[in-house]
Structure 1
Amino acid sequence: MKAITIKGPDYNSVVNKTEKMLKKGHTPNLAIVFLSIDHDDQELAVYLNSKGIQVFGATTSGEFIDGVIEEYSITLMLLDVNPEYFRLVFLETGDKSSFDISNKLGQIGKATFSNAAFIIASGWLSQDGEAIIEGITEGYGKEVTIFGGMAGDDLALKGPKVFTFNKSSDKGIVALIIDKSKIEVNGIATCGWKPIGTTKTITKSEGNIVYTIDDKPALDMIMKYLGIEMDVESGKEIVSQLSSYYPLQMERPGVSPVMRTAMFANKEDRSLICAGNVTQGAKVRFSLPPDFDAIEAVVDECEQLKSSAQMDADAIIMFSCISRRLSFGVMMPEELEQVQQVWNAPMIGFFSYGEYGKSKTGKHEFHNNTCCVVTLKEK
């Protein structure tokens, strides 16, 4: 497998670079495309299709290639890989639930390869991250491998999209199903966040809405406990302060915590609306704002993955929560660069609204405030 990365501020720029690459004799047949929602995804998909290149695409809240962060740009990873080793699938919910279409996706994967891995991107389905994991698992089987991210829309929070040729939707899932007997797929979902304070209990919640923590209104609890003030009229203020600096860590016995981001606050009932389900009765702790130790923890887990499962990689795909970018600030490039240097392979990624993957001691599940790193290596 050969991977080449391309980036540019607009359609013409990336097309010109792609044409130059093709003239050199490269023959890609698969494109991983991450771009700002300001761009016309179908314009690019039509062009790539005309060159015999299938498209796995998602809109973002920032893109990066080989450790370099881009703004409102178009990024591509062009792969030359045997077409018998993968299958691209695009599904929309329509009148079905996220679980139903994910279940169908799992069944498609099972019928295609006896040993499959799923790399997925989902649209505006923030309440259904767990349902997507559960659906694929139900359709394929418990030993399924799932990594991916939820599309972004530059923090407009109106409707991030996923796409392929001739298909684009904010209620869709695009999946790259890979034959693991031909291509090694390994990854890690890791965050590096440190917990703070005592364990608390979610005393009332429904789906992704947290009403009370220790029987106190969730918003009031977090503001008082952390000593912060914010304007609850502004959704972006909630994102930039709550989710970026003080995410919840849901504790589970024997496995790594799973992170949950508060995306909005309801000023009437003082609840928090999270980017993933929070189970009533769950034990949680708040998190400290990240420092360089968080980056070191992430890189260390990548190094462990390299030594235990994936010494070499042909390509790296990374899905990193937008909250990490907001909270890490100028430290963010440091994390991206160090992760890419672990394998020293071409890397593409984007800042997402949620991540799919497996932590070191957990199972494949839906995460927030996490980076999900996936490596590909043709056997």
Structure 2
Amino acid sequence: MKIVQAIKRHNNPFEFNNKKYLTRPLVLVFGNRFILENGTIYEEIRDLFPDGHLVFGSTSGEIMDDTVMEESVVLTAIEFEKSSFLVKSKNLKTYQNDEIALGNSLIKEFPKEGLKHVFIISDGSSVNGSALITGLENGKEIGVSLSGGLCGDDDRFERTLASYNEPPKEGEIVGIGFYGETLEVTSANYGGWTPFGPQRIITRSQGNLLFELDGKPALDLYVKYLGKKAKDLPKSALLYPLSVKTSENAEPIVRTILNIDEKENTMTLAGDVPQGSKVQLMMSSVDDIANGANEAGRLAMKDRLKSPELALLVSCIGRKLVMDQRTEEEIEEVKSVIGGDAYIGGFYSYGELAPFSQNNSCKLHNQTMTLTLFSE
């Protein structure tokens, strides 16, 4: 596996850390939405990699090695020596905003023979991540693993962008399938958030739209708990996500609020919040988040046969807001576990896609650190 990384800050050209020639590489481009909207960015990267497979995603922060950046673009170009990959993309508008149908159709684009893993980079502001995963899981083989993330837009929640071999655009979902007998891919996630306050029941919801808790408007209750911070919604909600437990035996899933509708008194979350689920507010600290990143690294490394050569990290914008000036500590925790030889790239997201520990089935998570580790 040959890997090249580079960073672009503002209007400056890309700065390479180890420039070398790659043949038909997979080029992962994660960056600030405003820079990706610039009409010249696609052609600039195409000139750098004329035969590359270019995959774009907007972010809430960019990760390269053990550094977290803002208002930049980072790229990781990979030439596989023993493995292969296939990239497919679809747009939500084509499927009349039916994420399940899109996910099912997308996963069927990948030939089954030899497929080991599919990494998803999806629009994060208009896509219901839970429904997307349902479609993907329904169409894939049992032995194929999934991971990835929902694109971000800093803490603005205006629009997010993704694309494959074209300028980034809204509503796009990109899947990257990885093939190879010697290819080893492992993924894991962990949070570090703690529930607090009373447990409530979701008495009215539809998909990822939350109407009522305990028979009362959900937004009213949320605003009450936030107090003065309510004026900064939905940004302030990132500091207090919801723990959602769909049944007594189910693992709790963390859900971030993406948007609010004051007129309808509703909240739009990054994934489904089924009626009857039990929910609690959650909070965290810098140390808890750093420790959670360490645990995510430990879980991803568990039972690996080979040391990772590439680590793709997807962490949540809410974690970044809590960490503030200490954000890089969670990346450093990951690096301390996976070792210093792996190239690290990634982004801060509006949602993370990964299985629970010891479970091959992918789920949508919020407020977690998710790792996907590759070696040939």
Give SS of 1:163's match.
strand
Instruction: Write the letter of the residue equivalent to 1:313.
Output: P
- Report the CA distance between 1:356 and its aligned residue: 0.9
- Please give the alpha-carbon distance, in whole angstroms, between the structure 2 residues aligned to 1:231 and 1:197: 17
- Please give the alpha-carbon distance, in whole angstroms, between the structure 2 residues aligned to 1:53 and 1:115: 21
- Report the CA distance between 1:136 and its aligned residue: 1.5
Q: Deviations over 1:297-332 (max 9, x none)?
A: 331232133132365100000111111111221232
Relative to its length, the structure with more helix (as a share) is 1
What residue is the counterpart of 2:106 in the other structure?
A: 105
Q: Which runs of 5+ in 2 are unaligned?
A: none
- Report the CA distance between 1:141 and its aligned residue: 2.9
Question: Does 142-151 or 80-89 show the bigger shift?
Answer: 80-89
What residue is the counterpart of 2:290 in the other structure?
A: 295
Contact 1:255 1:361 in 2 (8 A): no
Contact 1:28 1:78 in 2 (8 A): no
Q: Deviations over 1:16-44 (max 9, x none)?
A: 638x713xx55572211111122234223
Instruction: Write the letter of the residue equivalent to 2:56.
Output: G
- Report the CA distance between 1:256 and its aligned residue: 2.9
Question: Does 53-62 or 300-309 show the bigger shift?
Answer: 300-309
- Please give the alpha-carbon distance, in whole angstroms, between the structure 2 residues aligned to 1:201 and 1:35: 38
Q: How do residues 254-265 of structure 1 correspond to structure 2 at under 5 angstroms? A: 254-265=249-260
Q: How do residues 263-278 of structure 1 correspond to structure 2 at under 5 angstroms? A: 263-278=258-273
1:211 aligns with 2:211: yes
- Report the CA distance between 1:196 and its aligned residue: 1.4
Alignment counterpart, residue 248 of structure 1, candidates 242, 247, 250: 242
Contact 2:294 2:333 in 1 (8 A): yes
Contact 1:115 1:181 in 2 (8 A): no
1:324 aligns with 2:316: no
- Report the CA distance between 1:231 and its aligned residue: 4.6
Instruction: Write the letter of the residue equivalent to 2:108.
Output: Q
Instruction: Write the letter of the residue equivalent to 1:179.
Output: Y
Give SS of 2:315's match.
strand
Question: Does 369-378 or 324-333 show the bigger shift?
Answer: 324-333
What residue is the counterpart of 1:354 in the other structure?
A: 351
1:76 aligns with 2:82: no
- Please give the alpha-carbon distance, in whole angstroms, between the structure 1 residues aligned to 2:327 and 2:82: 35
Q: Deviations over 1:91-112 (max 9, x none)?
A: 2233313222221221122x25
What residue is the counterpart of 1:134 in the other structure?
A: 134
- Report the CA distance between 1:12 and its aligned residue: 5.0
Contact 2:90 2:174 in 1 (8 A): yes
- Report the CA distance between 1:121 and its aligned residue: 0.4
Calculate the aligned-residue CA RMSD, in Å: 2.4
Alignment counterpart, residue 333 of structure 2, candidates 320, 334, 338: 338
What residue is the counterpart of 1:63 in the other structure?
A: 62
- Report the CA distance between 1:117 and its aligned residue: 0.8
- Report the CA distance between 1:368 and its aligned residue: 1.6
Identity of aligned residues (%): 24
Alignment counterpart, residue 28 of structure 2, candidates 7, 26, 32: 32
Q: Deviations over 1:36-81 (max 9, x none)?
A: 122234223422441x221122111211111211111110112121
Question: Does 131-140 or 153-162 show the bigger shift?
Answer: 153-162
What residue is the counterpart of 2:375 in the other structure?
A: 377
Give SS of 1:31's match.
strand
Instruction: Write the letter of the residue equivalent to 2:185.
Output: V
Give SS of 1:301's match.
helix
TM-score (norm 2): 0.89
Q: Which runs of 5+ in 1 are unaligned?
A: none
Q: CA 1:209–1:324 in structure 2 vs 1: closer, same or farther (change >3 Å)?
A: same
- Please give the alpha-carbon distance, in whole angstroms, between the structure 2 residues aligned to 1:150 and 1:98: 13
Q: How many residues are paired up? A: 366
